[in-house]
């Protein structure tokens, strides 16, 4: 029992030392627009704006029942790194963001 308690304490401490902040965006991209979305997202992430964002993961779900088929997750050790994702005044004044938002508005459900 002592070893189990020690293991649980070590796991708990390890999780606290490696705390991360995640921001997830879930949406549906029509299957016939998936390639165009991937190209637009890659283009956006290669801009100066995209490179300044926290680490990003994208996953696309093609099988099974789901409320969405695409997820974009940003992760960082510092919550302040997430601020550009929610600074709408800066987003709407940035041509890189606006190009991506315009594509989303016309193609994403």
Q: What residue ranges do the domains of the chain occupy? A: 20-107
Q: Select from 48, 45, 54 the least CA-distant residue to 80.
A: 54
- pLDDT over 90 (residue 66): no
Q: How far apart are CA 73 and CA 21, in angstroms?
A: 10
What's the pTM value of the predicted model, to 2 decimals? Answer: 0.73
Q: CB of 62 within 8 A of CB of 69? A: yes
- Band (7; pLDDT cuts 50, 70, 90): confident
- pLDDT over 60 (residue 15): no
CATH of domain 20-107: 3.30.70
Helix pair 95-107, 34-45: axis angle to 10 deg: 170
Please tell me the total number of residues recorded for the chain in this structure: 109
Q: How far apart are CA 35 and CA 88, in angstroms?
A: 27
């Amino acid at each position: 029992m002592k070893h189990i308690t020690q293991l649980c304490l070590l796991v708990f401490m390890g999780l606290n030392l490696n705390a991360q902040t995640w921001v997830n965006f879930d949406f549906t991209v029509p299957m016939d627009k998936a390639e165009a979305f991937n190209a637009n997202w890659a283009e956006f992430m290669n801009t100066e704006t995209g490179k300044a964002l926290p680490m990003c993961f994208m996953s696309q779900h093609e099988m099974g029942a789901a409320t969405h088929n695409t997820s974009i997750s940003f992760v960082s050790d510092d919550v302040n790194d997430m601020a550009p994702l929610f600074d709408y005044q800066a987003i709407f004044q940035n041509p890189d963001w606006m190009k991506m938002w315009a594509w989303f508005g016309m193609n994403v459900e």
